[in-house]
Structure 1
Amino acid sequence: MNKIVTFSGVFLLPFVSGQVYSQKVQYKSPNVVFIMADDLGIGDLGCYGQDRIQTPAIDALAEQGMKFTQHYSGSTVSAPSRCVLLTGKHTGHSFIRGNKGYKAEDGRSYDLNLADEEVTVGEIFKSRNYVTACVGKWGLGGPSAEGHPNQQGFDYFFGYLGQGNAHRYYPTQLFENNTPVMLNKKVYSHDMIMDKALAFLDKNANKPFFLYLTPTIPHADIIVPNDELFDYDGKFQEVPFHGKGYTWQEKPRATFAAMVTRLDRDVQKVVDLLDKKGVLDNTIIIFTSDNGTHKEGGHDPRYFDSNGPFRGSKRDLYEGGIRTPFVVKWAAVIPEGSVSYQVSTFWDFMPTVCELIGANTPDGVDGISYLPTLTGKGRQEQHDYLYYEFHEQGGKQAVIKDGWKLIHLQINNPQKECYELYNMNADPGEIANVVKLYPRKVDELKKIMKDARTTNANWKFAFEK
């Protein structure tokens, strides 16, 4: 099915001293490598305070570029977070708002298909003659369907189409475009994913490219090939995991640390290859995570302080579930050692890309471009508010505005339904619920919570049914 893409608005440069410049920004079609880890907590990286796990490559990206301190994921779980990133619409408007699947003709389960009419970042890059690839986990549709990455602006895909299948590092199969690649549970998938990503870069370094690299590390299973624990073996007091749903692991702490360091090692491989091909200085490298840390498969986030100073984890709308690491290296533009306090989020990536490459922003996008923050040029717009909704655990919503955060819990269970209010400036750990002390603030944020969303047939709260 051919997609009809409509745009509105006119491409303008950022405001500088109140003026709008008419000439185009003179960037040499910068390449973009967007690396998104899976369930990596903000506290799992050395550049955000981790002292038990070694992440020298990612730390170097922060030292050589810009580290964001207030960046938020698209959602608190996988599929909707990826939808938000690729379409620029927060979960009040996004087509995918949760991890919900269907069974395809091959008998396997995949996530709901991203609608054909949705415009993705991949399609925006394609409109400017970039070669595009998604390598890793997709989570927005199954084989030969409208949600498949080849139908959503990506020339090449390799990895897991369904996020549920990505819980296993020794899968039965992966996909290369629409073709199943049979692995018969004998190949450690992360290593093959990285090989394919590096091959894409090697092949396409002589043309503008966008690589959306989405490794599944460190999502559970907690496992590495050949017990490759680096120097973590015997370093931690272990609590063996013999639970359900994931592979039993006798050394979950050493293995988790080794997974993160393995990911970091492979980030360095990407940097080294870009340098070898002579395109490092003209490539924007972004590193982040799809949501907060998990508590599955034997991982103990408290032991590693995986959520840093924040409360909560994956599936929470507390900061630990949605506050993510976000590091950007752009050697030709960003001064080394930069730190940004800009409140930014996954749905800002779309307008940032549009401004970067001179494309008009698609209709209905919720984000704002953070390109002025990266370049230090022009006026940086600010969010009026951030909105989240989540359709598991009774239904949840959250609004963040001017340092305040209102959380709505158990929406679908009237007897348990409640609100919590936090002053994020004074209480970033969300310790003191002050909902009874500031009724006017609660009413203000409740109104935003109501107005910030539209009804979606697949994602209805109880009050909509």
Structure 2
Amino acid sequence: MNHRTLLILCLFTCFASITDAADRKQPNIIYIMLDDAGYNDFGAMGSKHVQTPVFDRMAAEGMRFTDHYSGSCVCAPTRCVLMTGLHTGHCRRRDNQASANRNKTDENGLVFLQDEDLTVAEVMKQAGYVTGGIGKWGLGNPGFAGSPDKQGFDHFLGYLDQMHAHSYYTDWLWNDGQRMETNKRYSHYIFEEDTLRFIRENQGKPFFLYLPYTLPHGKYEIPADDPAYQIYQDKNWPQEVKNYAAMITRADMTVGKILDLLKELDIDDNTIVFYTSDNGPNPPFVNHLESNAPLSGIKRSLKEGGIRAAMTVRWPGVVPAGETSDFVWDMRDVFPTACDLAGTEAPSHLDGISVLPTLKGESQAARPHMYWEFPFRSQQAVRMGKWKGYREGTESPLQLFDLTSDPAEKHNVAGKHPKIVEQMETIMAQSHVPSEFWPLDSGKKKGKMKR
């Protein structure tokens, strides 16, 4: 072998090693989740009323999902599913407040994560990531094992208690376990500033940044001089509807600043960004903005409008640009997907699967089924291929819908498909592990859906 050939081989080997190292580089992960924004509250999902140019841009530059779901139909259990990778038949927190054994909860009936609960933040931290959270936590108050600093977060700024999160002009927020005075500034402005600071300060390390922003959850309030509000101020809508739409647009503006900063810091190509919402909308916004169209159901319902969530994912050069996917997944899948991205093994007890192949545009086998439960009216739901099963009460007849032809779940076809119904009833029975705080009943007790 002559010297020239040897040199070429050495250069090729060196290049291959560099390329392989680049392929193995851990990407930054940013997960953005709005609060109570409906499936149809985003332009790229079909909204004719709410302006979300950054969501739409991400859909054009990445992948938009039509059949992505929330972890639950209200705030706290969705966050529990997302953090623990367990569905609502297995996870610790299954509603915002306990419906039984409240002597074992805090004074407000809140159930927090415990030391034995393993979160995605803990595993990301073990994998070498700097972990940050900004927004609404809702899974553990100060002094309890469920607080974010005890669940894997190097940094958390925001509301720990979900009731506290109902005020955007609070006197204080929690910042790394300490009270931080706010001078009653609009809290989202503080969140935006801290988000950009966290990215700047950690640009040289792999980071996992969880952004459960409180917008557009009530109270429906936004400064009148905010540019987002100016877009809607002259609309012939009730004031809370104008505020709600403006709050979504304001959050979207923040996402735009995040994307701009990633590009400025030259880490855009090594950062995957998820952008979604935590559950379905409330009634006023269905009426005026068609927030759950073309679905039925609202927040606190396991009908499609209560749990199907807008989602777009962007990662330049990896996630194919401009694609729309009907792959069925939800927030239990974030934990194993993050592990896959980080190059670390996912814990074996998780209910979710990694959807990284789908995100890369590769073919991926559909999962056999997905299960949800919610204690109010003892709701249970199963998605199995094109079929959706739903019932209110463990002894109630199961309703069956073909989502391909009936996404609004108007036509119960259970009588025509008894074998599908039987399969779903078996899934419901096997997927539900009883909770001392949220027992399911026969469904004979009925209540009114509330905001």
Q: TM-score, normalised by structure 1?
A: 0.85
Instruction: Answer yes or no: is 1:384 the counterpart of 2:368.
Output: yes
Does 2:441 match 1:454?
Answer: no
Query: What's 1:7 paired with?
Result: none
The aligned residue for residue 443 of structure 1 is 422
CA positional deviation for 1:187: 1.8
Name 1:218's counterpart in structure 2: 216
Equivalence map 1:33-432=2 (5 Å): 33-100=30-97, 109=108, 111-183=110-182, 186-228=184-226, 229-235=229-235, 237-239=236-238, 251-295=239-283, 299-377=284-362, 380-392=364-376, 394-411=377-394, 417-432=396-411
Letter in 2 for 1:76: C
Write out the 4+ residue segments of structure 1 that deviate beyond 4 Å after TM superposition.
Answer: 101-105, 107-110
Q: Distance in 2 between matches of 1:100 and 1:199?
A: 34
Distance 1:84 1:121, change over 3 A: same
> Which blocks of at least 5 consecutive residues in structure 1 are unaligned?
1-22, 240-250
Larger radius of gyration: 2
Give the drift of 1:269.
0.9
Task: Return the letter of the residue paired with 1:81.
Answer: T
Paired amino acid for 2:321: E
**Paired AA for residue 258 in structure 1:** A
- Which has the larger displacement, 163-172 or 194-203? 163-172
| SS at 1:436 equivalent | helix
- Distance in 1, Cα, partners of 2:341 & 2:29: 10
Q: Identical aligned pairs, as a percentage?
A: 41
Q: What is the one-letter code of the residue matched to 1:175?
A: W
Shift of 1:198: 1.3
- What is the rounded CA distance, in whole Å, between the counterparts of 2:340 and 2:382 in structure 1? 27
Provide the rounded CA distance (Å) in 1 between the counterparts of 2:312 and 2:29. 13
Secondary structure in 2 matching 1:274: helix
Please give the alpha-carbon distance, in whole angstroms, between the structure 1 residues aligned to 2:59 and 2:71: 21
1:231 offset after TM fit, Å?
A: 2.3
Judging by fraction of residues, say which structure has more helix.
2
SS in 2 for 1:197: helix
3-state SS of 1:339 partner? strand
- The CA distance in 1 between the partners of 2:438 and 2:244, in whole Å, is 33
8 Å CA contact 2:224, 2:230 repeated in 1: no
Bigger shift: residues 191-200 or 93-102: 93-102
Q: Deviations over 1:264-294 (max 9, x none)?
A: 1111111111111111111001101111112
Instruction: Give per-residue Cα distances to partners, 1:310-369, cap 9 Å, x unaligned.
Output: 011111111000100111000021221021111111111111111221211113211111
Q: Contact 1:86 / 1:350 at 8 angstroms: preserved in 2?
A: yes
Gaps of 5+ in 2: 1-19, 444-451
The answer to whether the 8 A contact 1:111-1:163 is kept is no
Q: What amino acid is aligned across from residue 339 of structure 2 in structure 1?
A: C
Contact map agreement 1:111 1:142 (CA 8 A) in 2: no
Cα RMSD (Å): 2.2
Kept in 2, the 8 Å contact 1:369–1:381? The answer is no
Could you say which residue in structure 2 is the equivalent of 1:3? none
Secondary structure in 1 aligned to 2:40?
helix
Report the Cα offset of residue 391 of structure 1. Answer: 0.9
CA contact (8 A) 2:320 2:361 kept: no
The one-letter code matched in structure 1 to 2:190 is M
Q: Report the Cα offset of residue 463 of structure 1.
A: 6.3
Alignment-derived partner of residue 16 in structure 2: none
**Would the aligned equivalents of 2:173 and 2:180 in 1 still touch at CA under 8 Å?**
yes
User: Match of 1:451, as an amino acid?
Assistant: Q
TM-score normalised per structure 2: 0.88
Q: Aligned-pair distance for 1:150? A: 0.8
Contact 2:26 2:342 in 1 (8 A): yes
Alpha-carbon distance, 1:109 to partner: 4.8
